[in-house]
Every structure is written in C-alpha cells, then in structure tokens.
Amino acid sequence: MITPAFVQTMAAYNAEMNRRWFAAAARLTDAERKQDRGAFWSSLHGTLNHILWADRMWMSRFAGWDKPALVQKDSATLHADFADLAAARSDIDARIVAWAPAVTQPWLDEEMTWFSGGTGREMRKPRALLVTHMFNHQTHHRGQAHDLLFAMGQDTGATDLAFVLG
C-alpha cells in the first residue's frame, strides 16, 4: 500500500503545511481564531487542536509517545493558548519528521492492535493503512482549516503536494 519513502514525504509535506497554517493563523486575533464558524471542531483554533490531538494519539500507538490526556470529543480544547498550541505543533511535526526515516516496510506490513476510544473496542488493522489514515486525517482537517483561513482573508500559498515539495 505505502512505502517508507511515502511516510517520509508525507511527514515533510504535513510539517510544511502546518507551518503555513500556523503562520497564517498567527496573523489573526485570538478572538478570530476562536470564533465559532460552524466548522466540525467549531473554530480554527479548535480544528488545529484536534489535528494535533489526533497526531499525538496515533504516534502514541506507532512509537510509544505520550498520548493526550483528553478524549477525542474534547480534543478541540487541547491547548487554550495559541502560542502553546503553535509550539506543540512545531514540536510534534519535528518529531514525526524524525520518526519517518525509521519506518521500515516490514513494520508497515504488520498489523497493529489497539483500543479505540472512538469506537469503544479493540481494533486490528494493517499499520500501512493506519499511517495512511494519520496523514489523510491531517490533510482532511487542514482542508477545513484552509477554508476557515481563506474566509478570514489569509493566504497560505500553494497547497498541492506536487507544488509544495520538490
């Protein structure tokens, strides 16, 4: 399904896109970032928090990192302060980029078993599918964040993978 090279590419792409999103979000006021705009996670701030929460949750499963103390339904409140959220995002992105070269094809080909709080049951899936899901989840919710940023007059530049890397 995927290769270690794909993991490295997606780690670099997501780190760059998160850098751009947070730079654009930093140009807004705290009230603008936190205003309920009818997004799935309410606000831009809530959406960015949820993405970080999910990355931390998946990396706790993939690499033994500390998992977030909050449950998914509270993930939009992970960091109340934008500066703390931005610092945590930068740190996690650097850690994911550093983790990616250690991913091997045999590791990706194995199945992983974990307890899903979202489903309330034990799950078993191929790691390749789960790593793909983590990166796809980031992209999905960043698309929502992009729409919110655009509506608030913020330009993030090119967003397509082929134009961001390479």
- Minimal CA–CA distance to 2: which of 127, 140, 99, 111? 127
- Minimal CA–CA distance to 44: which of 153, 154, 148? 148
- Calculate mean pLDDT across residues 68-77: 91
- Pairing assessment for the beta strands 121-126 and 111-116 based on DSSP bridges: antiparallel
Q: What is the pLDDT of residue 164?
A: 85
pLDDT in tens, 99-153: 999 999 999 999 999 999 888 999 999 999 999 999 999 999 999 999 999 999 9
Which fold does the domain 4-164 belong to in CATH? Four Helix Bundle (Hemerythrin (Met), subunit A) (1.20.120)
Its pTM stands at: 0.94
Q: What is the pLDDT of residue 31?
A: 97
- Predicted confidence (pLDDT) at residue 160 exceeds the cutoff of 90: no
pLDDT in tens, 38-61: 889 999 999 999 999 999 999 999
Structural domain boundaries in the chain: 4-164
